């Protein structure tokens, strides 16, 4: 070995050891935080979307039309949007532990109370209140992750958290199918009533668990050593410094940042497809001739494919430090899956395969999108910026169910809706590539 090679190996060894130590430290943090946050998000998904399965029974039993169901499903997001930013600002002040306890206890109790619905007005009011109480959960967790992870590590950890959004249908379908089939009539309650009760109360218990298990920040974590706390804080400071002027952003500058509003609109376009499927996919499968129990288990396939894709795409995006093309390709794949579904509405296996392709694209695009804002928002601006993006994007949840319901009533099918949703995904891809140029992102995020 010559002198230059020896010097290079000696210089590189400490760097490699430090990198391995950092990897081990952030794995430790991930194993502490993500499993519980993952479980919370699964329940969050179940309690906001279980109405999509419940309506397979309750719509006929209560005499609700498609329009009533669509409005009730969508009005959730009115309350959600109104209280999203205030909730996230409160989290920044009181910490994630108290915030999650408040959010999960209130949404869980209100979701369980859905079992007593008998009129459209009661349906609307409770759905609105669930939105109010859930407001701030997902953007709050995303802000919370910025307190623990530097930007270069966030895509994968964001993917792990949002993997719950893909994993939830794996349990949602079978739970709904089994509950509504085998508990229908037990204790004089209908199956849809049992579904709301059994999926609502666990959220209260998990909120209590989160209060005692989580730490508000690395500095407050008793499960980290002093050296580990110092290393995490130093890594975050270095990450902020590397962002240059963006690291000194204020809340006001985040609200004036065009990138924040643009990401919010792209999130809106992605979530249109996501929530349209969340609320109407069971009805779509019922129209294919499937039973409630079959629908529950068929729903597993798109969910599993969506999870696997999100993990792989998120990992590759982190490794290459490229976001724009990862997002654009995923969004186009999602659009292709939705469009192809229209060709196989009378062929359940083929339709489910197309829905799986759509889930892969939509899920992957969604997690890549959320890796972007933390790369240019400072700690001071992150809570507001992330909440704003989530509020603008989340408003799609109000539009999508009602839009699909109205179009289905007018046309008698789902074809036109799926084409519109596909167009929204293609538009989001074009906006990422054309309206959000490489110069608008930090160097490590620019890509081609």
Which residues have CB under 8 Å from 187's CB, separation 6+? none
Confidence at residue 410, expressed as pLDDT on a 0 to 100 scale: 78
Which tens digit of pLDDT belongs to each residue from 285-316?
777 777 777 777 777 788 788 888 888 888 88
Confidence at residue 377, expressed as pLDDT on a 0 to 100 scale: 65
**Joined tokens for residue 176:** 């709904």
Calpha distance 223→434 (Å, rounded): 45
Answer for the pair 374, 317: CB distance below 8 angstroms, yes or no. no
Q: Sorting pLDDT into bands at 50, 70 and 90, what band is 59?
A: confident
| Residue bearing tokens 């597993």 | 300
Calpha distance 137→214 (Å, rounded): 15
Domain annotation for the chain: domains and CATH numbers: 28-445 (1.20.1250.20)
Which residues have CB under 8 Å from 169's CB, separation 6+? 45, 278, 299, 300, 302, 303
Which residues have CB under 8 Å from 369's CB, separation 6+? 263, 266, 267, 270, 327
| Angle at alpha carbon of residue 297, lines to 293 and 301, rounded to 5° | 155
Answer for the pair 428, 105: CB distance below 8 angstroms, yes or no. no
Calpha distance 341→336 (Å, rounded): 9
Confidence at residue 203, expressed as pLDDT on a 0 to 100 scale: 93
Answer for the pair 351, 431: CB distance below 8 angstroms, yes or no. no
> Quick check: 196 pLDDT over 90?
yes
Give one DSSP letter per residue of 183-250, joined into a string: STTGGG--HHHHHHHHHHHHHHHHHHHHHHH--SSGGG-TTS-HHHHHHHHHHHHHHHHHTGGGGG--
Which tens digit of pLDDT belongs to each residue from 311-363?
888 888 878 888 889 999 999 999 999 888 888 878 888 888 888 899 899 88
Which tens digit of pLDDT belongs to each residue from 114-126?
999 999 999 999 9
Q: How many angstroms separate the first and last alpha carbons of the chain?
A: 38
Selection from 437, 303, 316 nearest residue 371 by Cα: 316
Calpha distance 137→106 (Å, rounded): 12
Which tens digit of pLDDT belongs to each residue from 235-281?
888 877 765 554 444 556 666 777 888 888 998 998 887 777 766 67
Share of the chain above pLDDT 90, in %: 21
CA distances in angstroms from 101 to 45, 67, 394, listed in the order given? 17, 34, 22
Selection from 265, 250, 274 nearest residue 385 by Cα: 250
Burial label for 293, CB within 10 Å (0-12, 13-18, 19+), is middle
Calpha distance 33→223 (Å, rounded): 11
> Quick check: 39 pLDDT over 70?
yes
DSSP type of residue 92: H
Calpha distance 291→279 (Å, rounded): 17
Selection from 36, 87, 299 nearest residue 176 by Cα: 299
| Residue bearing tokens 């959960």 | 137
Q: State the alpha helices, DSSP H only, in 249-323.
A: 251-256, 258-287, 292-298, 300-320
Answer for the pair 374, 151: CB distance below 8 angstroms, yes or no. yes
Which tens digit of pLDDT belongs to each residue from 7-38?
444 455 666 777 788 888 988 999 999 999 99
For residue 316, how far is the Cα from the chain centroid? 19
Collapsing DSSP to helix, strand or coil, 2 comes out as coil
Out of 86-90, 134-138, 313-317, which region has the weakest mean confidence (pLDDT)?
86-90
**Joined tokens for residue 438:** 């490489």
- pTM for this model (two decimals): 0.69
Calpha distance 39→309 (Å, rounded): 20
């Amino acid at each position: 070995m010559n002198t230059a090679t020896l010097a290079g190996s000696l210089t590189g060894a400490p760097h490699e050891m430090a990198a391995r130590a950092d990897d081990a430290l952030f794995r430790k943090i991930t194993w502490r935080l993500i499993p519980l946050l993952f479980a919370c998000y699964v329940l969050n998904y179940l309690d906001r979307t279980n109405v999509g399965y419940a309506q397979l029974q309750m719509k006929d039993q209560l005499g609700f039309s498609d329009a009533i169901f669509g409005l009730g499903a969508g009005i959730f997001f009115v309350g959600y949007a109104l209280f999203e930013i205030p909730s996230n600002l409160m989290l920044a002040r009181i910490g994630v532990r108290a915030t999650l306890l408040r959010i999960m206890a209130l949404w869980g109790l209100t979701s369980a109370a859905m079992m007593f619905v008998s009129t459209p007005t009661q349906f609307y009011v409770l759905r609105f209140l669930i939105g109010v109480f859930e407001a701030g959960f997902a953007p709050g967790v995303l802000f919370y992750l910025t307190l623990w992870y530097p930007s270069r590590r966030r895509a994968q950890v964001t993917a792990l958290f949002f993997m719950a959004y893909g994993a939830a249908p794996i349990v949602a379908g079978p739970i709904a199918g089994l509950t509504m089939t085998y508990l229908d009539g037990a204790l004089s309650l209908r199956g849809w009533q049992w579904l709301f009760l059994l999926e609502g109360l666990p959220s209260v218990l998990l909120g209590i668990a989160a209060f005692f298990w989580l730490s508000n920040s690395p500095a407050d974590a008793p499960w980290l050593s002093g050296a580990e706390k110092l290393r995490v804080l130093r890594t975050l400071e270095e990450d902020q410094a590397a962002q240059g002027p963006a690291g000194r952003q204020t809340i006001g500058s985040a609200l004036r940042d065009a990138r924040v509003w643009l990401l919010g609109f792209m999130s809106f376009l992605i979530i249109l497809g996501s929530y349209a499927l969340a609320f109407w996919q069971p009805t779509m499968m019922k129209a294919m001739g499937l039973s409630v129990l079959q629908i529950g288990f068929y729903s597993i396939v798109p969910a599993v494919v969506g999870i696997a894709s999100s993990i792989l795409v998120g990992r590759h995006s982190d490794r290459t430090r490229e976001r724009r093309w990862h997002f654009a390709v995923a969004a186009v794949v999602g659009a292709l899956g939705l469009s192809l579904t229209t060709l196989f509405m009378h062929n359940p296996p083929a339709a489910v395969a197309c829905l799986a392709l759509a889930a892969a694209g939509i899920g992957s695009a969604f997690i890549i999108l959320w890796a972007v804002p933390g790369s240019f928002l400072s700690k001071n601006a992150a809570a507001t910026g992330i909440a704003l993006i989530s509020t603008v994007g989340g408003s799609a949840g109000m539009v999508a169910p009602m839009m699909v319901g109205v179009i289905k009533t007018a046309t008698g099918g789902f074809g036109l809706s799926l084409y519109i949703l596909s167009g929204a995904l293609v538009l989001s891809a074009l906006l990422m590539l054309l309206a959000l140029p490489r110069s608008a992102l930090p160097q490590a995020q620019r890509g081609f």
